[in-house]
Amino acid sequence: MAKQLERHLNILQHFPRPPAYITAAQLHERLPHDLNVTKRTVERDLKQMSASFPDALEMVEGQGDNGRAIHWRLRFRQGLLPETFLNNPDLAMTLSLLEQQARSRLPRAVLDRLLPYWEQARTAHKHNAQTQRWQRDFQYLPDPMRPEPPSVDPEIQHTVEDALANEQRLTVTLETLDGSLTYARLLALRLILQEEVLYMLVENLETDDPEASLLLLPLHRVTHATASGLASGSGIEPDLAQQHLLGTGELITLEMRVSRSLAEALFERPIGHGLHIHVDGEHYRVTTKIEDSPQLHRWLQRRANEIEQCPSTCDTK
C-alpha cells in the first residue's frame, strides 16, 4: 500500500495543470528513476485512480496522429490526494514528524482514519530535498529512559473509548507484578496521558471503600477488556477523582538548596515556571513555581541526598 501511494503521489505531481493532457508514456519518463516502475505499471495505476475517482481523472481515447493514443487529463487534484500534501511539503514534514506523538494522544478510531494521510505525508516528505535536509540537520533524541510510549493494544483502547463514550461498565484484566488481576465492574471516568504513559481513571463499583474505589490503571498493562450494560456509579466528577489521585495541581513556590551538578541539570532542563538559580555559598539556591503533585514528591524523594528544601532547613545551615 505504501509503495502504491508513493507512485500515485509522484504521478499526480507530474501531471500538467488542467485542462492539459498527457500520456502514460510521458508520465513514465518524468517519474524518478529510483521508483523502478514500468510504463505498464503507470497505465495500470492511472486506470485504477480513474476508476476510483472518475470525476477527478479523465481518460480520452482516439488521440494522436494515428488516433490510437490514450491521453489523460487531471480535472482537479482534490479528491485524489490531499492538495495540502501535494503543494505544501512543510505540512507533510510536520505531519510525518508528529505522527508518533499523535499515536499516544488521539482516539484509536481517529488514528485508524488518519492512517492513509500519515502514509501520504511520509511519501511527500520523502521526495522533498529541502525537508529531507532539515530532518538531517535537526535530530530529535527521545528520553533514553523511555524512548517511546508503551504500546497499547488497539482493540483494548477501542473498547475503553467506546465504554467512555457510551457510559458502559467495564470488565478488565490487568497484568501486575504479582500476576493477573481482574476487575469485574469498573466505570471509566477518563483517559489520562501522563509522562507519555496512557492511564485509565476508573471507579471500582465493587467496593464501598471510598479510598479504594478510585484507580489509575496503565492501559498498556491491560490484557483484556469488555464493555457491557450501562454503568451506574457514585456520580463522582472526573476532575475531583483526578485531583484525589494526582493532587490538586495547585501552584506552590518551591525553594531549595542543591548541589552544583543538580543546579547544572536544572539550568539545562528547568522545572516549573520562572525558575531562578543563584549561588548560595558552596551550593545553589533554586526557586520555581510548580504544581503540587505526586510526581513532584517522588522527584524530591529520589533526590533527597542532593536537596535541602527551604526555608525550613536552608536558613539554619
Domain at 291, CATH number: 3.30.70
- pLDDT at residue 207 tops 50: yes
Residues 109 and 124 in one domain: yes
Among left, alpha and beta (phi > 0; psi -120 to 50; other), residue 160 is: alpha
Per-residue pLDDT tens for 145-161? Answer: 776 778 899 999 999 99
Residues 170 and 228 in one domain: yes
Residues 77 and 104 in one domain: no
CB 111 within 8 A of CB 102: yes
C-alpha count within 13 angstroms, C-beta hemisphere, residue 228: 6
Residues 190 and 261 in one domain: no
Residues 167 and 240 in one domain: yes
Cell numbers representing residue 145 in the block = 529512559
Q: Tell me, yes or no, whether 148 lies in a domain.
A: no
Confidence at 70, pLDDT banded by 50, 70, 90: confident
Per the confidence metrics, is the pTM higher than 0.85?
Answer: no
Residues 231 and 284 in one domain: no
Per-residue pLDDT tens for 113-145? Answer: 787 777 777 777 777 777 778 777 877 777 777
Q: Tell me, yes or no, whether 222 lies in a domain.
A: yes
Q: Specify the pLDDT at position 156.
A: 94
Q: Tell me, yes or no, whether 145 lies in a domain.
A: no
Query: Cα 283 from chain centroid?
Result: 40
Locus of grid cell 475503553: 160
Q: Tell me, yes or no, whether 144 lies in a domain.
A: no
Confidence at 32, pLDDT banded by 50, 70, 90: confident
Q: Specify the pLDDT at position 311.
A: 65
Residues 15 and 37 in one domain: yes
Q: Tell me, yes or no, whether 146 lies in a domain.
A: no
Residues 54 and 111 in one domain: no
149: which DSSP letter?
P
Start-to-end CA distance of the chain, whole Å, equals 67
Report how many domains make up the chain: 4
d(CA 50, CA 247): 58
234 versus 36: the higher-pLDDT residue is 36
Q: Specify the pLDDT at position 233.
A: 64
Q: Which ranges of 35-144 does DSSP label H, i.e. alpha helix?
A: 39-52, 83-87, 89-103, 108-126, 129-137
d(CA 149, CA 102): 11
Residues 99 and 39 in one domain: no
Domain at 224, CATH number: 2.30.30
List, as one string, the DSSP characters of 252-284: EEEEEEE-HHHHHHHHHS--SEEEEEEEETTEE
Q: Tell me, yes or no, whether 15 lies in a domain.
A: yes
Q: Tell me, yes or no, whether 34 lies in a domain.
A: yes
Residues 264 and 234 in one domain: no
CB 175 within 8 A of CB 205: no
Highest mean pLDDT among 30-34, 107-111, 256-260: 256-260
Domain containing 113: what range? Answer: 85-137
Locus of grid cell 510526581: 295
- Closest alpha carbon to 234 in 259, 261, 260, 202: 202
| β-pairing verdict for 251-258 and 307-310 | antiparallel
Residues 224 and 257 in one domain: no
Residues 117 and 159 in one domain: no
Q: Tell me, yes or no, whether 147 lies in a domain.
A: no
Locus of grid cell 522533498: 128
Domain end: 246, 270, 299, which one?
246
Q: Specify the pLDDT at position 1.
A: 53
How much is the average pLDDT of 64-68? 63
Domain end: 193, 213, 246, which one?
246
Query: Cα 297 from chain centroid?
Result: 28
175 versus 119: the higher-pLDDT residue is 175
